[in-house]
């Protein structure tokens, strides 16, 4: 066990393979209901794995998914996991007007709370799409009743990123809103922030490197790491999307058959818990 005194946050962004932002140019939203939906079986597999390892996690869940699979949402809550919001329809916050963003987060939060029976305190923007151009989103989240966000990735990336933002939890928004932003984890090395939080990087990089980066954040920064992945990342049999460009194909499909084995090792190597229980009781 590496750095067992530190509890890291395990997070799952609950969306299906056809909803990822990189596929938006290839799959129209009005096609979603016609696609084979695989998120239910994949989340059940994840829940079974977490039960086996006695780990609790945070599930940032789309309202679109919750609406169609309410029993899945109820199982997440019943088994002691945190139910949090990923918005309603996986629209990037940076693509929405303030009014449209408020409508999206309000709809999602209401749906999740009605189905799950608990207050939804956390939010993660699709594709980490809060940045310098839409910082007003933090005040909107606070007004909607959220206590924290995990929407900023302090790296340079072609689709997202805010590399100059703080690496660890900090207060955001107008004075008095109290919203806590908990950025996903980076490792500071040679004056750069290196992605150390999961997702496609976890599938692409050797497992030993990912383990070393998380362990280094625990040991040297004395901070909890935030790890994220998606249900479709454990689904080697998901339908292949035709006509996508080579970069998107590589990013989406690389090492998916190895993902579940790596997750099992990750759960064994570190201590894991829910976002709310790790961060909301801390004074920042």
Query: What does the pLDDT read at residue 2?
Result: 46
For residue 224, being part of any structural domain is answered with yes
Output the tens digit of pLDDT for each of the chain's 284 residues.
444 589 999 999 999 999 999 999 999 999 999 999 999 999 999 999 999 999 999 999 999 999 999 999 999 999 999 999 999 999 999 999 999 999 999 999 999 999 999 999 999 999 999 988 999 999 999 999 999 999 998 876 555 557 778 999 999 987 566 899 999 999 988 788 888 888 888 999 999 999 999 999 999 999 999 999 999 999 999 999 999 999 999 989 999 999 999 999 999 999 999 999 999 976 44
Rounded to whole angstroms, how far apart are CA atoms 147 and 120?
A: 9
- pTM (2 d.p.): 0.94
Q: Domain for residue 141, yes or no?
A: yes
Would you list the DSSP string of 180-234?
EE-PPPEEEETTEEEE-SBHHHHHHS-HHHHHHHHHHIIIII----EEEE-GGGG
pLDDT score of 20:
94
pLDDT in tens, 76-87: 999 999 999 999
Total tally of structural domains belonging to the chain: 1
**Domain with 58 in it:** 7-279
Q: Are 159 and 21 in contact (CB under 8 A)?
A: yes
Residues 6 or more apart whose CB falls under 8 angstroms from that of 118 comprise: 77, 83
In terms of DSSP bridges, do strands 271-273 and 226-229 run parallel, antiparallel, or are they unpaired? unpaired
Domain CATH for 207: 3.20.20.370
254 lies in some domain: yes
In degrees, to the nearest 5, what angle opens at C-alpha 271 toward C-alphas 208 and 147? 115
Q: Could you tell me if residue 262 is inside a domain? A: yes
Cα 57–Cα 85–Cα 20 angle in degrees, nearest 5 = 90
In a domain, 1, yes or no: no
- Is residue 216 within 8 Å of residue 187, measured between CB atoms? yes
| Residue 162 pLDDT | 74
* Residue 14 located in a structural domain: yes
Q: How many CA atoms lie within 13 A of 175 on its CB side?
A: 0
Rounded (5°) CA angle 91-262-221: 75
Which residues have a Cβ under 8 Å from the Cβ of 135 and sit 6 or more positions away? 172, 173
């Amino acid at each position: 066990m590496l750095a067992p005194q530190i509890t890291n946050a395990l997070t799952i962004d609950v969306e299906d393979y056809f909803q990822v932002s990189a596929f938006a140019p290839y799959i129209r939203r009005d096609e979603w209901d016609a696609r084979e939906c695989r998120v239910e079986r994949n989340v059940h597999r994840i829940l079974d794995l977490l039960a086996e390892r006695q780990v609790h996690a945070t599930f940032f869940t789309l309202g679109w998914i919750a609406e169609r699979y309410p029993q899945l949402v109820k199982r997440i809550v019943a088994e002691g996991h945190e139910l949090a919001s990923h918005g309603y329809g996986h629209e990037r916050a940076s693509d929405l007007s303030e009014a449209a963003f408020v409508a999206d987060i309000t709809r999602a939060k209401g749906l999740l709370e009605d189905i799950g029976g608990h207050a939804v305190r956390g939010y993660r923007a699709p594709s980490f799409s809060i940045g310098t151009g839409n910082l007003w989103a933090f005040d909107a989240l606070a007004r909607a009743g959220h206590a924290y966000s995990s929407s900023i990735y302090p790296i340079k990336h072609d689709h997202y990123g805010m590399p100059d933002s703080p690496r660890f939890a900090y207060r955001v928004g107008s004075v008095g809103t109290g919203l806590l932003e908990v950025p996903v984890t980076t490792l500071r090395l040679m004056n750069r922030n290196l992605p150390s939080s999961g997702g496609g990087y976890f599938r692409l990089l050797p497992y030993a490197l990912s383990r070393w980066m998380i362990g280094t954040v625990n040991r040297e920064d004395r901070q909890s790491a935030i790890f994220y992945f998606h249900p479709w990342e454990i689904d080697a049999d998901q339908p292949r999307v035709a006509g996508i460009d080579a970069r998107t194909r590589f990013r989406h499909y690389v090492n998916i058959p190895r993902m579940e084995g790596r997750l099992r090792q990750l759960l064994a190597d570190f201590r894991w818990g829910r976002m709310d229980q790790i961060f909301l009781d801390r004074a920042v």
